[in-house]
Chains A and B, each alone.
Chain A
Amino acid sequence: MSDDAAGRSFSKAEIAGQGERTFWGRLANWPLYRGFTAFLTASPRRQFVILAIFPLIWVLTQHLGPMLQMLRVSLTDAYPVAPGTEQHFTLQNYTRFFGDRIFWQPFFRTLIFAGVFTFCTLILTYPVAYFLARHVSRKNQVLMLLLLLIPFWVGEVVRTYAIMILLGNTGAVNMVLKWIGLIDRPIPFMYTSFSMGVGIVYLTALYMLLPLYSALEKLPKSYNEAAADLGAGAWTRFRRVTLPLTLEGISSGCTLVFLISTGFYATPVLLGGPSTTVFAETIAGFFHVAGDQWPTGAAFATIMFAAALVLTGIFQKLMNSLRKGDTK
């Protein structure tokens, strides 16, 4: 390109003349189109509305819509409505939960399980995330993350069956224990809170790992080096520097894992036993085994949803206050 050509400026008439030779050029010069685009991009607020409208429609129809429908069903006395009958508004489905203590047990069991499994997931994944973010070279981090992601390419049920193969009476764990002479008879791992816990921790590990990795990876190494220079030992450096500065990742990971754990259904069904019935199984019972009790199932699902949100809110508040305390 010559300086002459590079420095040459085109007049509007020239641009319009060239553009009109193509369809897009003609469209761009079409007064109606120009007026329309000018209207749409007239102000930043209008541009924001245009950008937001499709995500908003998506969230409203695909996320909030089903939840609102669930809420609506929970406030009716029949759904689906049988021929020749009418649907009425009622709070009976909610009072059934609060009035019958038999349902409290799986409800509180679910919340306790979710809390315990979230804590276990945090304890198990934090060292992995720490190793990955702080000790693996940046070049190999992507490869390592990819390796950790591989099990998540297959579905929840397939991975749950993998746990069954590991923990069954004739599974790999019992076979190894027997082979090394530690046991004579297989240990009944399956259909217990242990097998269910292993399954849930395994299935949710990634949701904890990624926020932790992200938080740890952003933490400058110089902070720890400075602490070391000032005489802080390894434990003190972790407690006073690393941990407080990764609270955001811990908070995000725990929130994700806790919320997911409260809603797990297939894993407790396949790995749990008679004494580990979780609330999702009770809810599912109203949607199929119990025949025609969708409104009760919907009300119970709404109660669990609200409880999980409230607990998560309290947890977030706690983490925020911890973070603020550390930055004072």
Chain B
Amino acid sequence: MTKLILNRRNFIGTAAMSGAALASPVYLRRAHAAGGEVNIWTYNEFVPTAFKEQFEAETGIKVNVRLVDDQGKQFNLLAAEAPNPSVDIMTVAGHRFLQFIDSDLLTPLDTDRLKNWGAINPTFSESDWATINGHKWGAPILSGMEVLSYNTELVTPEEAETWDTLFSDKYKGQTAYVIQDMMSIVMLKMGYDGNMVAYMDDPAKAAEIVEEVKQYLIEKKPLVRKYYDGGAEVQQMFVNQDIALAQSWNGPAAALINDGFPLAMSIPKEGSYGFVYTFNIANNAPNLDNAYTFLDAILASPEIGASMTKASGFISTYKGASEYLSDIEKKSTSFPEEQLANLQFFRAEANDMKYKLIDPAVEAIKAS
């Protein structure tokens, strides 16, 4: 979903975290020198380099990271490898859990094997979406949300209070969004349930709503500059001043703000959706013990959580991680209370029906 720019600030931040990690108690030595390897599919910067190097040195376990940029692609890769996957840990967005669980691709997480499970803020580790069929399926690591990002030199904070600005003639040819994400947001903007849970018993109504949203986005197509897919793309467009505002994830936008770019974010009054990234263990993971060793180690310190936030811009789920952020980093990862009140989490219950309707609609909008 995201590809972030490694810039000078990130580098300095990573170097500072390396120093802090080296100076901190050797939390990793609790893990015995196990050796072997652990294979991880994750987004760019989600496994901090300093942590990875220290983990490998302390445990002898080699960490093989394969970068992913899309949940659907990751699902397909895993499904193609099942039932004997090459991966041990992958990064699933909380609202995509069910798709993976229903396809028998994940194994329930044995939290008793994670001594540091308590380091996660209970808001994330114990929330309703985190428990499915009586099991925990992943360790929450970062949280994000769909926001309206805007260039503060071109767009006012008042204009950014509504999603309508994204579709206004004033900013024709200066906007960008991820169509699939925008479908849910436009549903919300129109007063519908973007999670589609409310229409689970009424598929005809669900289809009608998706059709209405599809027609709306086709009608507004002449106004958009670019449909994009990855965080790096929207960063690039803002930096090159190709766009003035965009629907984006908070992570890539926060990274630009931290770098001093004149950008701000808002959660518009019509509402928006939040999501949580989790580290999950694959069913039949080839290095199961190493996977648990890795998970326990990465949850060991709030400094690691802060390091992930600094690199990715997403908000850490670790207790006390914000203590290790600078003022500007704290600012770029927090929102006013009145805006947070407009936020709700993506839910997975209706995903099967929802994506069967949305995916063809997305293709239709692109093709139109």
A291-B240 contact, Cβ under 8 Å, with A83-B104, A273-B226, A277-B367:
no
Q: Enumerate chain A residues within 8 angstroms of B367, measured Cβ to Cβ.
A: 102-103, 105-106, 277, 282
Asked if B227 CB lies within 8 Å of chain A CBs, one says yes
Cβ of B362 and Cβ of A289 under 8 Å apart? yes
> Is the interface on chain B under 10, 10 to 19, 20 to 34, or 35 or more residues?
20 to 34
Cβ of A289 and Cβ of B72 under 8 Å apart? yes
Asked if A25 CB lies within 8 Å of chain B CBs, one says no
Q: Which of A168-190 contact B (CB under 8 A)?
A: 168-171, 186, 188, 190
Cβ of B242 and Cβ of A190 under 8 Å apart? yes
Most B-side CB within 10 Å, residue of A186, A286, A290: A290
Q: Enumerate chain B residues within 8 angstroms of A274, measured Cβ to Cβ.
A: 221, 224-227, 366
Name which residue of chain A comes closest to B363, CB basis: A285
Cβ of B76 and Cβ of A291 under 8 Å apart? yes
Q: Enumerate chain B residues within 8 angstroms of A286, measured Cβ to Cβ.
A: 363
Closest CB of chain B to A279's CB: distance in Å?
9
Name which residue of chain B comes closest to A189, CB basis: B242
Considering the chains assembled together, what is the distance between the CA atoms of A285 and B362 in angstroms?
Answer: 9
Name which residue of chain B comes closest to A107, CB basis: B367
A289-B359 contact, Cβ under 8 Å, with A102-B364, A273-B225:
yes
Cβ of A83 and Cβ of B364 under 8 Å apart? no
Asked if A82 CB lies within 8 Å of chain B CBs, one says yes
Considering the chains assembled together, what is the distance between the CA atoms of A165 and B101 in angstroms?
Answer: 43
Asked if A275 CB lies within 8 Å of chain B CBs, one says yes
Cβ of B70 and Cβ of A169 under 8 Å apart? no
Asked if B80 CB lies within 8 Å of chain A CBs, one says yes
Asked if B348 CB lies within 8 Å of chain A CBs, one says no
Per-residue contact bits, chain B 303-338, to A (CB 8 Å; 1 contact, 0 not): 000000000000000000000000000000000000
Q: Enumerate chain B residues within 8 angstroms of A282, measured Cβ to Cβ.
A: 363, 366-367
Considering the chains assembled together, what is the distance between the CA atoms of A169 and B237 in angstroms?
Answer: 9
Closest CB of chain B to A46's CB: distance in Å?
41
Name which residue of chain A comes closest to B178, CB basis: A289
B366's partner among A164, A190, A191, A277 (CB-CB below 8 A) is A277
Most A-side CB within 10 Å, residue of B225, B362, B366: B366
Cβ of B240 and Cβ of A171 under 8 Å apart? yes
Considering the chains assembled together, what is the distance between the CA atoms of A102 and B218 in angstroms?
Answer: 12
Closest CB of chain A to B107's CB: distance in Å?
14
A290-B366 contact, Cβ under 8 Å, with A170-B241, A188-B242:
no
Closest CB of chain A to B41's CB: distance in Å?
13
Q: Which of B205-259 contact A (CB under 8 A)?
A: 221, 224-227, 229, 233, 236, 240-242
Name which residue of chain A comes closest to B217, CB basis: A274
Q: Enumerate chain A residues within 8 angstroms of B363, measured Cβ to Cβ.
A: 102-103, 282, 285-286, 290
Asked if B127 CB lies within 8 Å of chain A CBs, one says no
Closest CB of chain B to A85's CB: distance in Å?
10
Name which residue of chain B comes closest to A104, CB basis: B367
Considering the chains assembled together, what is the distance between the CA atoms of A106 and B224 in angstroms?
Answer: 18
Considering the chains assembled together, what is the distance between the CA atoms of A169 and B76 in angstroms?
Answer: 37
Considering the chains assembled together, what is the distance between the CA atoms of A206 and B173 in angstroms?
Answer: 33
Q: Enumerate chain B residues within 8 angstroms of A294, measured Cβ to Cβ.
A: 76
- Since A83-B103, A188-B242, A286-B363 are in contact, a sample of 15 more A-B pairs with Cβ atoms closer than 8 Å, ordered by chain A residue number, is A82-B79, A83-B83, A102-B368, A103-B363, A106-B366, A168-B240, A190-B242, A274-B366, A282-B366, A289-B72, A289-B180, A289-B229, A290-B72, A290-B360, A291-B75
Task: List chain B positions with a Cβ less than 8 A from chain A.
Answer: 70, 72-73, 75-76, 79-80, 82-83, 99, 103-104, 173, 180, 221, 224-227, 229, 233, 236, 240-242, 355, 359-360, 362-364, 366-368
Shortest beta-carbon contacts, A-B, top 5: A288-B73, A168-B240, A290-B359, A80-B79, A288-B72
